[in-house]
Structure 1
Amino acid sequence: MRASRLLSLLLLLQARGRMTAGELSAELEVSIRTVYRDVEALSAAGVPVYADRGPAGGYQLLDGYRTRLTGLTSAEASSLFLAGLPGPAAELGLGEVAAAAELKLLAALPPEPRSQAAMMRERFHLDVPGWYRGSDEAPFLAEVAEAVWEQRPLRMRYRRWGPQEVERDIHPYGLVLKGGSWYLAAETSGDFRTYRVARILGIEALPGRFERRPGFDLVEFWSRFAAEFAARMHTGTATVRLDPDYLGLLRYTIGNDVTDTALTAAETMPDGWLRLAVPIESVRHARWQLLRLGSGVEVLDPPELRKLMAETIEELSVMYRD
């Protein structure tokens, strides 16, 4: 256990440079006193780790020191091949690079991890886009990715909802792949915004490089954006009666998260059906979603949604009447 922790400490310093005892204790989930002991153990073993004193100090390795020991277990090595995602890598212009890295990793692994990694590649494949939906066509993705990597400012023409074309000068911070679509996190006019890369109509590289804001975390930014987007998207509620046999179809139609939210306050009615308060984007959007459940659902409220459902059903009845 301690040997694994010492290796993790060494790799953290190698990957991140100077780190304080507090940062190391948080990463390794141990006390600061344990970090002190582990650093002393590394020094005693001949690893050139030293401490800088003062408020801005911390531990770091002697410049130029690197270890080739990775300590990959079979499971860890195998998991790397699930993270390869050759499709997205190719979209970013990194297909050949990813393939070469995979070959080098396989060649460097001991026999047992190598065989398990090969089995992982043979038996699992990640297909990112959902059914009945292909990936977005994003002709400027490779150029945007290069600007993200090189910290190059961009001027872009962008198609907003409407449709409406706008021009923006941006600092591209990061790319996120969500459901087969690429999204760009960028700073513009002092604020962070999210753009769908497929809607970029043209880009122009601007001179110079920009400095990233200290502390920007792409994962944290995206998590916050996704939560805010979901909150903005579902602005209303519809009260419905649902045949329990249609619960699976409801999940398929409106998603697991929205269904789980509705089920938290579900009531079972005398006829065995469920009474649910379902979050909806709008009355018109909810009409098309709930119509997919056919006779397995009845809208009770709001009145305008119930009226829309009745009108649509009447129109369908007239259309299919002999």
Structure 2
Amino acid sequence: MTAAQLAEELEVSVRTVYRDVEALGAAGVPLYGDAGHAGGYRLLDGYRTRLTGLTAGEAEALFLAGVPGPAAELGLGPVLAAARLKVRAALPHELRGHADRISSRFHLDAPGWYADADDTPYLPAVADAVWNGRVLRILYRRWREPTDVERRLEPYGLVLKAGRWYVVAGPGPRTYRVDQILELASTEEEFTRPEDFDLAAYWTAYQQEFHRRLRRGRAVVRLAPGSRPSGPLADAVAADGRTDEDGWTLVTVSIESVDQAHDDFLRLGAAVEVLEPPELRERIAATVRELARRYG
């Protein structure tokens, strides 16, 4: 094909074709051109790419992205292993070394510490319904009464967050923890996933709304000089901390509840003083009095 024909086919300018042909030649693609009335560009007969478009960084990221634990939970462990072997075999020699080095030096372990792994026996069935667009009927355990409820789900997607699986399902959509599914029945009923549904965008908005609803209360506290708060308290200090004449830092921080804030602030010991709200200050004072009595 001539440069003009390629430009028309690809909807680009002839100048772009010339530039791209040079770039392909520099990358080792055997593309050559014949001049004259019947000339044009030709790809060497029998040429096949071997993923030469991958950079070293892309090859490393590809093998770093392989998470065997979650894949195995979804029933895709052998499939993932086979795919990685095939991709590795197709990589040029120099990129194969990069991929092997990243696999041997970095390991991803998503779940957090101090927690047992969730029991998710229905995860493969949920994944299958997500993939094939099938309706699920489940018995689900929630935190409020009545705790055990029946639900009809149109599963749009699965999310793995800190080692815990969630299914996002219509109508709504709403979010359900897979480990809280007590019973599951697959159906032959199909549903149509909304074309404009974006799983990543939904999950981002869901997390933002969750944190907004979670921390509706406010507390005013003083932090001793040299104290090292963490989490939301550290964020509040960085955003709006004010140092008083004694060198203590005065800050207003969002809290989930009096109970939760009581436990969080007690962990800081004498490095924090709660000023407001009164019920939280009195709750901590009562605990401190009891501790003093108990330990003499």
Same topology, TM > 0.5: yes
Equivalent in the alignment of 1:168: 151
Alpha carbons of structure 1 residues 39 and 162: separation in structure 2 relative to 1, 3 Å: farther
> 1:245 Cα deviation (Å)?
2.6
Equivalent in the alignment of 2:216: 235
- Give the 5 Å matches for 1:259-278: 259-278=234-253
- Confirm whether residue 102 of structure 1 aligns to residue 84 of structure 2: yes
- Give the 5 Å matches for 1:212-291: 212-247=193-228, 250-251=229-230, 255=231, 259-291=234-266
Alpha carbons of structure 1 residues 301 and 97: separation in structure 2 relative to 1, 3 Å: same
**Counterpart residue type for residue 117 of structure 2:** S
Inter-partner Cα distance in structure 1 for 2:15 and 2:184: 49
> 1:318 Cα deviation (Å)?
2.4
Please report the RMSD computed on the Cα atoms of aligned residues, expressed in angstroms. Answer: 2.3
Inter-partner Cα distance in structure 2 for 1:213 and 1:114: 40
Equivalent in the alignment of 2:58: 76
Secondary structure, in 3 states, of the residue corresponding to 1:207?
Answer: strand
Inter-partner Cα distance in structure 1 for 2:142 and 2:99: 43
- Confirm whether residue 138 of structure 1 aligns to residue 120 of structure 2: yes
Inter-partner Cα distance in structure 2 for 1:305 and 1:72: 57
> 1:272 Cα deviation (Å)?
1.5
**Counterpart residue type for residue 159 of structure 2:** V
- Confirm whether residue 152 of structure 1 aligns to residue 127 of structure 2: no
**Counterpart residue type for residue 119 of structure 1:** R
Equivalent in the alignment of 1:306: 281
**Greater mean alpha carbon deviation, residues 285-294 or residues 238-247:** 238-247
User: Would you say the 8 A contact 1:263–1:276 is kept in 2?
Assistant: no
> 1:178 Cα deviation (Å)?
0.7
Equivalent in the alignment of 2:40: none
User: Would you say the 8 A contact 1:259–1:278 is kept in 2?
Assistant: no
**Counterpart residue type for residue 163 of structure 2:** G
Write out the 4+ residue segments of structure 1 that deviate beyond 4 Å after TM superposition: 66-70
- Confirm whether residue 199 of structure 1 aligns to residue 174 of structure 2: no
- Where do 5+ consecutive residues of structure 2 fail to align? 1-9, 22-47
**Counterpart residue type for residue 41 of structure 1:** V
- Confirm whether residue 119 of structure 1 aligns to residue 101 of structure 2: yes
**For 1:270-308, what per-residue CA distance to the aligned partner results, in whole angstroms no more than 9, with x for missing partners?**
121211111100111100011111111110111100000
**Counterpart residue type for residue 111 of structure 2:** P
Inter-partner Cα distance in structure 2 for 1:260 and 1:147: 40
User: Would you say the 8 A contact 1:77–1:113 is kept in 2?
Assistant: yes
**For 1:51-87, what per-residue CA distance to the aligned partner results, in whole angstroms no more than 9, with x for missing partners?**
xxxxxxxxxxxxxxx9765611111011111211111
Q: Compute the TM-score of the two structures, normalised by the length of structure 1.
A: 0.75
Secondary structure, in 3 states, of the residue corresponding to 2:251?
Answer: strand
Alpha carbons of structure 1 residues 224 and 301: separation in structure 2 relative to 1, 3 Å: same
User: Would you say the 8 A contact 1:243–1:274 is kept in 2?
Assistant: yes
- Where do 5+ consecutive residues of structure 1 fail to align? 1-33, 46-65
Alpha carbons of structure 1 residues 166 and 38: separation in structure 2 relative to 1, 3 Å: farther
**Counterpart residue type for residue 320 of structure 1:** Y
Q: Compute the TM-score of the two structures, normalised by the length of structure 2.
A: 0.82
Alpha carbons of structure 1 residues 38 and 120: separation in structure 2 relative to 1, 3 Å: farther
- What is the aligned residue count? 259
**Counterpart residue type for residue 93 of structure 2:** P
Inter-partner Cα distance in structure 1 for 2:197 and 2:52: 28
Inter-partner Cα distance in structure 2 for 1:150 and 1:309: 53
Inter-partner Cα distance in structure 2 for 1:279 and 1:267: 16
Alpha carbons of structure 1 residues 258 and 274: separation in structure 2 relative to 1, 3 Å: closer
Which one has the largest radius of gyration?
2
